[in-house]
Structure 1
Amino acid sequence: METRIETTIAELTDFLAPAEPPVDEETIEYMAEQLVEHGLTLETCSVDQLNNLMCGEDINAWR
């Protein structure tokens, strides 16, 4: 599972690289852990779920 988290961190880092303001490492690690925990990937999660995670909310807060 650790490898999956590391892969997800790398994917999120690349995906969020152009973000302004930049997304900090701690937030990216949290997002990756939550995606893996919920069985999601960057390709299978929704924009709302990513936004929730970037704001430190539960992944499904707005459902």
Structure 2
Amino acid sequence: MANDITVKHGWILPLFVSLYITKRSEAVLQWGKRKNIKKLIINGELVIEWKKEKSIKDVVVENICYD
């Protein structure tokens, strides 16, 4: 009896996992439009390349004390 339930509902988890991965991929690809991410398809597989840009910013902190 328990195996029947597992078999009947065994497709639900892969469905949700595939939908989650699809939605995450879409979010990454949309995010990539702003963040220098290249999307390539090599041998039928999606390959995502990105550039890491490091910028050094000088932060000036002023401490003002009022006595």
TM-score bucket of the superposed structures, by smaller chain: 0.3 to 0.5
Structure number with bigger Rg: 2
TM-score (norm 2): 0.33
- Point out the structure with the larger strand share: 2
**TM-score, length of structure 1 as denominator length:** 0.35
The structure richer in helix per residue is 1
